Structure 1
């Protein structure tokens, strides 16, 4: 039986993995939320790894509030960088393969084509910088790892753009959504299946990967898709917003070119 530690189990990806875990009978899961396991606590993490005898760790734990990260830089780096280093060091010490989830926001968005794994990162906000630092720590520590960058994650769990749009249809007569940013919406269930597929197939294609659902669109285009999927396209007016009010700078183009090796 392959033993798998999943951190950040209450997040979108963590809950999506829990939802499909029974589809992988050869895998045994140990789900830890932030209360069970604080990845910034070195002693707590060390004890969990030493006692768990895991084969894999899927690190879903992250500070993901892009806006708040601008004013909580220390906290963002504590989780997304120092916490990740803590996880990576313990994976190496305990011979555990690390699967770490990263983001399209490591790029500045100035490229017109999709970003490949060979493109040089250049984050333009604190969140992206903290996630990139976490990636760098993993690369510096010996051991087996997969770093999987994804984008615009959504699901039935937690807070995400998909759920926000549906919520706003109940209160807003006009919905204004920016068309100045382009990316690839990715359902957390699809990412979960990709991650578990790596484990189930005993993949040795270690290193950096990009995974998305593959279809590029703007936030406006995504909103239009969401309304259509839920039969709401005629229930309110959807308008393009010229300005996206945000404290954090965001990449204009963060489309990732999917690559598995």
Structure 2
């Protein structure tokens, strides 16, 4: 089986690359912006025709949420139009696609874990382009699985966990938002789930949710990082209004994982167990 992974050096792509050694009978092709620039849809089509993968793992995306507010056209090309090209190619060639989406497609004003059929209503440009990417996949008729995730972190790349460690090492006191609720996603857990789905006999197209188990705020997340790392830094809880950003953030991002567990038997670890596992590597 030939598996094409976009976003090769991102958090998810890097974790998949590390795990790919466990699948010696598969051929993994990892591409990043140099090999397959997602801002050039013509080249995206050319690369797909050249590689001809059996499965595409679409992990590459424009993820600079605040910057996206001022680069809406570029973000739309990468998160929407390029995804549409991959979906159309998948449908035309009778292949499979796994696309990574986000909790940002939701308004974020709910108070119960979000199911896959919850109406989408993005509150920023990034979320809107990711929603359009989902729609392009559905309209293509491709044999595709869309996995929405949230609060992704890893030993690779830039993320909240690594930023907190740096700030708590440099400063005596920091402030962290406590009124945005969700659950983090260790990219390695998501990578394992994706590879398990690909290699199982239970493939079923549709939209699924995946993040680690539990319900916390960003403040809770920061406190746990401090405790596990044994750092000495005061953390003050603040509301979202005290930390304005160009792009609005959902207040509630907790995802219901029942469907992915019931359909594929996915194992979803507790957020703190995964955080501890990740921090042993940092």
- Identify the TM-score tier after normalising by the shorter chain: over 0.9
Give the equivalent residue in structure 1 for 2:140.
141
CA distance in 1, matches of 2:83, 2:196: 22
Look up the SS of the partner of 1:223 in the other structure.
Answer: helix
Give the equivalent residue in structure 2 for 1:239.
236
Q: Deviations over 1:106-149 (max 9, x none)?
A: 11111110100111111111111110000000000022000000
CA distance in 1, matches of 2:178, 2:26: 42
Once the two structures are superposed, the pairs formed by residues 60-79 of structure 1 within 5 Å of their partners are: 60-79=59-78
Contact 2:115 2:209 in 1 (8 A): yes
Give the equivalent residue in structure 1 for 2:47.
48
Look up the SS of the partner of 2:100 in the other structure.
Answer: strand
- Higher mean C-alpha displacement, 209-218 vs 39-48: 39-48
Contact 1:24 1:200 in 2 (8 A): no
- Higher mean C-alpha displacement, 99-108 vs 19-28: 19-28
TM-score, length-normalised on structure 1? 0.96
CA distance in 2, matches of 1:47, 1:256: 36
Matched, 1:208 2:207: yes
Give the equivalent residue in structure 1 for 2:223.
224
5+ long unaligned stretches in structure 1: none
Q: CA RMSD in A?
A: 1.2
CA distance in 2, matches of 1:15, 1:219: 24
Q: Deviations over 1:148-200 (max 9, x none)?
A: 00000000111100000001012211010010101110100000000011111
- Higher mean C-alpha displacement, 183-192 vs 202-211: 202-211
Aligned residues: 258
Contact 2:44 2:82 in 1 (8 A): no
Q: How far is the alpha carbon of 1:20 from its aligned partner?
A: 0.9
Give the equivalent residue in structure 2 for 1:195.
194
Runs of 4+ in 1 over 3 A off after TM superposition: none
Look up the SS of the partner of 1:6 in the other structure.
Answer: strand
TM-score, length-normalised on structure 2? 0.89
- Higher mean C-alpha displacement, 171-180 vs 144-153: 171-180
Contact 1:38 1:45 in 2 (8 A): yes
